[in-house]
Chains A and B, each alone.
Chain A
């Protein structure tokens, strides 16, 4: 059904207040952009009687460079803002981030969706998840038991954050010179039936010095592909990229497992070639 049940609403100004609100009612949910949450509520797939709007919490905003050239992205940064943020666009050059954001939903959707909300909901077909994995993202989560800083991969493996927790920020590694994202789209919900993110660093002799490859949509959980990464290390260019066919690919009415496996290799090659080209042009 598309009609919301009766829901109370509050919009605190601080993380502390928000956590207190979430703690006192076990049917509460935090809401940021609301793209994902409202659909779940309207379709009756999630019940909530209390919404805690975190949109006014100033400390969750902003993008800045921190130690070791890592980039700290405030949880409330919208996907649109992320791509126009000067520090992202010019200094960091994370092609994979902008590639991925450009193919998420549509403009209105990206204007509302936040980085924190996307990570917290951990949709298995999220484009941003693959990009973050390829950039060695870590996530700072605060909750009733305090703060923990964990790898984005762990957030996805746990199917997101807990109801009574908030993401403060997402941090990504120093920019690799070349990165890219390639996607095969679910034409109904626009998520990835299969998406591959690649970040690559080249040696002076034009071989692969370092590479990260992440997959989304095609497996139960967005993940890195470590055996593929190992096989590419030291490879000379152009390199043939093949994603293993025996991974636990998911099947649905929108695409079968065999086709997703096939597309994983097709998209990995595309993303890798594009990342290499960017690295060479950098």
Chain B
């Protein structure tokens, strides 16, 4: 091994899979050289701006665009009426599985998700009403202000519980009582019986507040139309370019699939938001053909905050039951999920399955039940946010487990250890619909306890008290379903689409390697980690491998990046394609050497037969020979170009335990996170540098929800936290010294044994911080965000304060 400290410069690591190589794409990001969607402006581009609703809920009485049309540089002004016959409504493709559900209509019979531009009514503050196209973005912006919309404001409802009540304002004609679905999992009768018979029952109402996804890069879309080929091209901030192509072509534009090409340039963060369909995408394509010029739209931060899908937003009535000696016997939750004004592309599935089936956490709980009222209200549509569904469930469960431990007077670590699924019980059916793949849950917790010096905590707490500080320690253990997933299983879960991945490996005549993947990085370093898989299998240096992705014309089909799936679903596909290449080369070498395949050895870039020095061929000689194809073995085609598809047998279930230590100023209520200890298990890790970065970012995300973030709407649906002056997000300065450790339990469902990692550490983070604060205060339940003001109120008024 090289002694160099810069691991990326190592000539040929022994194992490149698992090596902490520095991400190859990062220098271009840091230097500002990487091309993002907003950096692209085709020749003759026109610029689009969207006028969004001023109201949370209103009828559109009249739209007068005459003044706007007369403004300098304005080329077109479009209203919903202009588009009604030309663009179909957006579809929703993840419906609550296995139950009756109700959606806005779509003419093709699929669930609808609202019009591209509002027709006669606006239902949330970001609903697009008018599109203006002009020669410059400034002209388009100025013209927006000249559009005159007359609204008649309607009563609004923003709270999902209120939305279900009789007499509540109604959002959609096809959806009675604003109820998209009442979705359930588990056995309610058995759960209620276990609760009724339990020695100890603890109840809690948990509010998982709504958060605003704040990626560094706002969304953008550029539409082009080529009249020669009769082809549309979309450049967009898309984490699922193939899916966007499929949905836009088939269900929104109603054009043949082969007439749309989607290209996703580099993406500056997504956290789930950029896999959704948004009205701007079909609009730029439609207008590009209509006006004969490329159409560009770039979002602003303020517009992002009222239109990009938002996260969390459950009100959970939770119950846990158990024995006095710490055995959990049942868990139950009834939750009101706030879907917002329209079902986002996969929002209803996120709010139901991903949350509900996850509430048993890492514990072997004999019976459980979760019911979710998925509600429409006059706020921004709900979608994913890093760890979506699972973070909401784990927050609730881990608060409950702490309350249960407190009630029976047992150490919360001990309660967790007593209830965790044991290593010999896998695959483990959690009674709520998930089958956990593999794990050593207690081992991860024990490691976290050791790293946190957990059992010395009382002494440290006493020391802090002498300084007027309240020290608190909080544990959160989790299992987070990832790696979406088996396509058949997802169809039963309500997903209207496939969830497999693909990978292609092509060896050039020179021996260099092109790998092309169907998934898309939104910051996960695909160009590094996928190249590492190929380098490992093919035994070639990283510098010889180029990674291609994110252009539907060039990349093999894939389903995109979400649910921490790229590496555990796309990784195996690429691994299989690389293996096919290597096997083909070994077969050809055996033929050319005149030996059996088993006699060919491939090491250090050379195919050889041990003991026969005349029978050797270098990697590049082999590549050239395959390219010429002059003397191919019987039944073998020339060239090296292999594609593999992978659809896992089941999901994968990363897990772990986090411990936070906080210090609270007794007088002011200010909180300082003193330590954060994280033990995560994502199976074998392909690149620890990348995963460590993901863990840090994930924890900060969770800390944001626990301490500072909350999207606030007034009762008319106006967004009060409408920019970064009013909505707080964690900053780099909020980072603490993350004490990270890993255990490694392979997943049996893929050849690499890998599990999801990109979002998993978000799942327990808010709970760990919150449990630590509650521990410090001796509080029963304070809603997030746990601000100093709320903590001060508690310190003053005690548990009566909420």
Which residues of A are at the interface with B, using a C-beta cutoff of 8 A? 1-6, 39, 43, 106, 184, 186-189, 253-256, 259, 262-263, 266
Which residue on chain A has the smallest CB distance to residue B732?
Answer: A106
Which residue on chain A has the smallest CB distance to residue B139?
Answer: A6
Residue contacts A-B, CB under 8 angstroms, 25 given:
A1-B300, A1-B302, A1-B303, A2-B302, A2-B303, A3-B137, A3-B300, A5-B138, A5-B141, A106-B731, A106-B733, A184-B668, A186-B728, A187-B708, A187-B728, A188-B708, A188-B724, A188-B727, A188-B728, A253-B712, A253-B721, A255-B789, A259-B792, A262-B668, A262-B792
B residues less than 8 Å from A189 (CB atoms): 724-726
A residues less than 8 Å from B667 (CB atoms): 266
Instruction: Known A43-B302, A188-B725, A188-B726; judge A253-B141 contact (CB<8 A).
Output: no
B325 interface hit (Cβ, 8 Å): no
Instruction: Tell me, rounded to whole Å, the shortest Cβ–Cβ distance linking B367 to chain A.
Output: 42
B 298-309 binary contact with A (CB < 8 Å = 1; else 0): 001111000000
Residues of B694-728 contacting chain A, CB below 8 A: 708, 712, 720-721, 723-728
B788 interface hit (Cβ, 8 Å): yes
B residues less than 8 Å from A262 (CB atoms): 668, 792
**Known A184-B670, A189-B726; further 18 A-B contacts with Cβ < 8 A:** A1-B141, A1-B300, A2-B300, A2-B301, A3-B49, A6-B138, A6-B142, A39-B725, A43-B302, A43-B723, A106-B731, A106-B733, A188-B721, A253-B720, A253-B726, A254-B726, A255-B789, A266-B668
A residues less than 8 Å from B720 (CB atoms): 253
Instruction: Tell me, rounded to whole Å, the shortest Cβ–Cβ distance linking B306 to chain A.
Output: 12
A residues less than 8 Å from B721 (CB atoms): 188, 253
A residues less than 8 Å from B725 (CB atoms): 39, 188-189
Instruction: Tell me, rounded to whole Å, the shortest Cβ–Cβ distance linking A104 to chain B.
Output: 13
A215–B723 alpha-carbon span in the complex (Å): 26
Which residue on chain B has the smallest CB distance to residue A265?
Answer: B667
Which residues of B are at the interface with A, using a C-beta cutoff of 8 A? 49, 137-138, 141-142, 144, 300-303, 667-668, 670, 708, 712, 720-721, 723-728, 731, 733, 788-789, 792-793
Q: Which of B723, B728, B789 contacts A256 (CB 8 A)?
A: B789
Instruction: Tell me, rounded to whole Å, the shortest Cβ–Cβ distance linking B451 to chain A.
Output: 29
B residues less than 8 Å from A106 (CB atoms): 731, 733
A residues less than 8 Å from B728 (CB atoms): 186-188
A70–B573 alpha-carbon span in the complex (Å): 72
- The list of the 3 closest CB pairs from A to B, nearest first, reads A2-B300, A187-B728, A188-B728
B residues less than 8 Å from A6 (CB atoms): 138, 142
B residues less than 8 Å from A5 (CB atoms): 138, 141-142
A204–B667 alpha-carbon span in the complex (Å): 32
A189–B141 alpha-carbon span in the complex (Å): 26
Which residue on chain A has the smallest CB distance to residue B142?
Answer: A5
B789→A259 contact, CB < 8 A:
yes
Name, among B49, B712, B792, the residue most crowded by chain A CB atoms within 10 Å (CB to CB).
Answer: B792
A4–B145 alpha-carbon span in the complex (Å): 13
A259–B727 alpha-carbon span in the complex (Å): 19
Instruction: Tell me, rounded to whole Å, the shortest Cβ–Cβ distance linking A273 to chain B.
Output: 13
Name, among B49, B667, B724, the residue most crowded by chain A CB atoms within 10 Å (CB to CB).
Answer: B667
A189–B729 alpha-carbon span in the complex (Å): 10
A residues less than 8 Å from B727 (CB atoms): 188
A150–B138 alpha-carbon span in the complex (Å): 41
Instruction: Known A1-B302, A2-B301, A6-B142; judge A263-B726 contact (CB<8 A).
Output: no
B residues less than 8 Å from A266 (CB atoms): 667-668
B residues less than 8 Å from A254 (CB atoms): 726
Which residue on chain A has the smallest CB distance to residue B49?
Answer: A3
Instruction: Tell me, rounded to whole Å, the shortest Cβ–Cβ distance linking A103 to chain B.
Output: 11
A259–B398 alpha-carbon span in the complex (Å): 30
Instruction: Tell me, rounded to whole Å, the shortest Cβ–Cβ distance linking A113 to chain B.
Output: 15
A13–B111 alpha-carbon span in the complex (Å): 64
A residues less than 8 Å from B731 (CB atoms): 106
Instruction: Tell me, rounded to whole Å, the shortest Cβ–Cβ distance linking B725 to chain A.
Output: 4
Instruction: Tell me, rounded to whole Å, the shortest Cβ–Cβ distance linking A66 to chain B.
Output: 37
A1–B49 alpha-carbon span in the complex (Å): 10
Which residue on chain B has the smallest CB distance to residue A44?
Answer: B145
A263→B668 contact, CB < 8 A:
yes
Instruction: Tell me, rounded to whole Å, the shortest Cβ–Cβ distance linking B132 to chain A.
Output: 12
A residues less than 8 Å from B793 (CB atoms): 259
A residues less than 8 Å from B301 (CB atoms): 2
Instruction: Tell me, rounded to whole Å, the shortest Cβ–Cβ distance linking A169 to chain B.
Output: 29
B residues less than 8 Å from A253 (CB atoms): 712, 720-721, 726
Instruction: Tell me, rounded to whole Å, the shortest Cβ–Cβ distance linking A212 to chain B.
Output: 23
Q: Which of A3, A188, A263 contacts B138 (CB 8 A)?
A: A3
Instruction: Tell me, rounded to whole Å, the shortest Cβ–Cβ distance linking A64 to chain B.
Output: 34
B residues less than 8 Å from A187 (CB atoms): 708, 728
A residues less than 8 Å from B792 (CB atoms): 259, 262
B residues less than 8 Å from A3 (CB atoms): 49, 137-138, 141, 300
A266–B792 alpha-carbon span in the complex (Å): 12
A129–B434 alpha-carbon span in the complex (Å): 58
A222–B529 alpha-carbon span in the complex (Å): 53
A45–B728 alpha-carbon span in the complex (Å): 20
Name, among A4, A187, A255, A263, the residue most crowded by chain B CB atoms within 10 Å (CB to CB).
Answer: A187
A88–B301 alpha-carbon span in the complex (Å): 38
A187–B708 alpha-carbon span in the complex (Å): 7
Which residue on chain B has the smallest CB distance to residue A3?
Answer: B141
Which residue on chain B has the smallest CB distance to residue A5?
Answer: B142
A residues less than 8 Å from B788 (CB atoms): 184, 259
Which residue on chain A has the smallest CB distance to residue B727?
Answer: A188
Instruction: Tell me, rounded to whole Å, the shortest Cβ–Cβ distance linking A253 to chain B.
Output: 6
Instruction: Tell me, rounded to whole Å, the shortest Cβ–Cβ distance linking B302 to chain A.
Output: 6
B residues less than 8 Å from A256 (CB atoms): 789
A27–B245 alpha-carbon span in the complex (Å): 47
A163–B636 alpha-carbon span in the complex (Å): 81
Q: Which of B138, B670, B724 contacts A4 (CB 8 A)?
A: B138
Instruction: Tell me, rounded to whole Å, the shortest Cβ–Cβ distance linking B301 to chain A.
Output: 6
Instruction: Tell me, rounded to whole Å, the shortest Cβ–Cβ distance linking A266 to chain B.
Output: 5
Which residue on chain B has the smallest CB distance to residue A254?
Answer: B726
A residues less than 8 Å from B724 (CB atoms): 188-189
Instruction: Tell me, rounded to whole Å, the shortest Cβ–Cβ distance linking B149 to chain A.
Output: 16
Which residue on chain A has the smallest CB distance to residue B796?
Answer: A262
Which residue on chain A has the smallest CB distance to residue B789?
Answer: A259
A4–B300 alpha-carbon span in the complex (Å): 12
Which residue on chain A has the smallest CB distance to residue B72?
Answer: A6
A256–B787 alpha-carbon span in the complex (Å): 12
A residues less than 8 Å from B142 (CB atoms): 5-6
Instruction: Tell me, rounded to whole Å, the shortest Cβ–Cβ distance linking A124 to chain B.
Output: 13
A5–B144 alpha-carbon span in the complex (Å): 12
Which residue on chain A has the smallest CB distance to residue B725?
Answer: A189
Instruction: Tell me, rounded to whole Å, the shortest Cβ–Cβ distance linking B470 to chain A.
Output: 15
A1–B141 alpha-carbon span in the complex (Å): 8
A256–B144 alpha-carbon span in the complex (Å): 37
B residues less than 8 Å from A188 (CB atoms): 708, 721, 724-728
Instruction: Tell me, rounded to whole Å, the shortest Cβ–Cβ distance linking A20 to chain B.
Output: 28
Which residue on chain A has the smallest CB distance to residue B141?
Answer: A3
Which residue on chain A has the smallest CB distance to residue B218?
Answer: A2
Instruction: Tell me, rounded to whole Å, the shortest Cβ–Cβ distance linking A201 to chain B.
Output: 27
A residues less than 8 Å from B723 (CB atoms): 43
Instruction: Tell me, rounded to whole Å, the shortest Cβ–Cβ distance linking B211 to chain A.
Output: 13
B residues less than 8 Å from A43 (CB atoms): 302, 723
A4–B789 alpha-carbon span in the complex (Å): 37
B residues less than 8 Å from A39 (CB atoms): 725
Which residue on chain B has the smallest CB distance to residue A39?
Answer: B725
A4–B142 alpha-carbon span in the complex (Å): 9
A6–B788 alpha-carbon span in the complex (Å): 43
A4–B139 alpha-carbon span in the complex (Å): 10
Instruction: Tell me, rounded to whole Å, the shortest Cβ–Cβ distance linking A108 to chain B.
Output: 12
Which residue on chain A has the smallest CB distance to residue B665?
Answer: A266
Instruction: Tell me, rounded to whole Å, the shortest Cβ–Cβ distance linking A41 to chain B.
Output: 12
A residues less than 8 Å from B137 (CB atoms): 3
A254–B667 alpha-carbon span in the complex (Å): 19
A1–B143 alpha-carbon span in the complex (Å): 13
Instruction: Tell me, rounded to whole Å, the shortest Cβ–Cβ distance linking A184 to chain B.
Output: 7
A73–B180 alpha-carbon span in the complex (Å): 63
